[in-house]
Amino acid sequence: MNRSKSDKNNSEEYSSSIGFSLRDVFAVHPRIELSGNTSASVEGCRGVLEYSKTQIRVSLGKYSIQIKGRGLDLRCISPTSLRIEGFITAVEYIM
């Protein structure tokens, strides 16, 4: 689908008037949900980089997260999401 130059300018003009671009609205951003200190759900992950009972490191594209704790276990894993259970003591973002 070809977009004319005026369509692109209209889109940019609209984006600047509302304060964010439409590309930002439809972008897929990772989501991390903690349930107390015993469960973490991560959506938008790109793979497990490191796994042990005391830490799990997960790739989220441009950055990764590291979850530390005791008795950590991957309970559910799919190509884009996972669930970690155990006693979580820290969540760290790594650039």
| pTM listed for this prediction | 0.69
Can you tell me which residue has the tokens 């997260």?
65
Residue pLDDT, tens place only, 11-38: 555 555 556 555 555 556 789 999 999 9
Q: What is the DSSP string of 10-79?
A: HHHHHHHHHTS-HHHHH----EEEEETTTEEEEES--EEEEE-SSEEEEE-SSSEEEEEEEEEEEEEE-S
Residue pLDDT, tens place only, 65-78: 999 999 999 999 88
- Report the CATH fold assignment for 29-94: Immunoglobulin-like (2.60.40)
Domain boundaries, the chain: 29-94
Cβ 55 vs Cβ 66: under 8 Å:
yes
| pLDDT of the residue at 2 | 52
Structure tokens at 62: 């441009």
Q: What gap in Å lies between CA 94 and CA 85, rounded to an integer?
A: 21
